[in-house]
Amino acid sequence: EVQVVESGGGLVQPGESLRLSCAASGFTFNNYWMTWVRQAPGKGLEWVASVNHDGSEKYYVDSVKGQFTISRDNAQNSLYLQMSSLRAEDTAVYYCARHPAPGTVDCWGQGTLVTVSS
């Protein structure tokens, strides 16, 4: 079964850092681009970042450039999102998803909640 499972969320104070992980299984991880999408409480979906098969290409939404870093470890079948200088507006459920083909994502996980609050 194709599956991704996010972890690493929690309650942090403004200015702190957090690293999210996404464990993939059921598919050949290093064949796929991967993506992070977030959803603030009661709000819509926002694409955050994507990375190519080997980690050499990365794209970010402007609001997190210089603050978040997407990375992957193909040997561990894992995707990461390193988040620093967190702000209240980064509070959201963070989902990882697979790119089965260009221009699309599927196989969303259950998400991990990040809460930034003092």
Is 61 a binding residue for another protein by CB under 8 A? The answer is: yes
| Cα–Cα distance, 98 to 105 (Å, whole number) | 5
Binding flag, residue 67, another protein (CB under 8 A): no
Partner residues linked to 39 by β-bridges:
45, 93
d(CA 100, CA 102): 7
Closest-CA residue to 108 (of 15, 20, 22): 22
Question: Among 17, 25, 85, 104, which residue interacts with another protein (rule: CB under 8 A)?
Answer: 104
Token pair belonging to 55: 């980690």
| 81 interacts with another protein by CB under 8 A | no
CB of residue 12 to another protein, shortest distance in Å? 23
d(CA 41, CA 22): 21
- 94 near another protein, judged by CB under 8 A: no
Nearest-approach distance from CB 15 to another protein, in angstroms: 25
The contact set with another protein (CB under 8 A) reads 35, 37, 44-47, 50, 59-62, 95, 101-106, 108-111
